[in-house]
């Protein structure tokens, strides 16, 4: 299975959800990082770095 740009937000959301269940205090940081990451993926910035 190859990971495409469409899979990245789903994987990030899954990992973030697991971390929130383990440590609820991390919610603010996880949400902020998730939003920044999804924004970068949406703008195509990560394609320049070949991620």
pLDDT at 5: 66
Whether pLDDT at 51 is above 60: no
pLDDT at 3: 64
CA–CA distance from 17 to each of 11, 24, 46 (Å)? 10, 10, 22
Residues 6-42 have pLDDT tens digits of 777 788 778 878 887 888 887 888 788 878 888 887 7
For 3, residues 6+ apart whose C-beta sits below 8 A from its C-beta are 11
Residues 5 and 41: beta-carbon distance below 8 Å: yes
Whether pLDDT at 46 is above 70: no
pLDDT at 47: 72
Tokens of 21: 């269940």
């Amino acid at each position: 299975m190859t990971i495409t740009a469409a899979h990245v937000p789903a994987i990030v959301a899954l990992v973030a959800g697991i971390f929130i269940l383990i440590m609820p205090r991390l919610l603010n940081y996880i949400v902020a990082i998730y939003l920044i990451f999804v924004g970068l993926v949406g703008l195509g910035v990560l394609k320049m770095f070949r991620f």
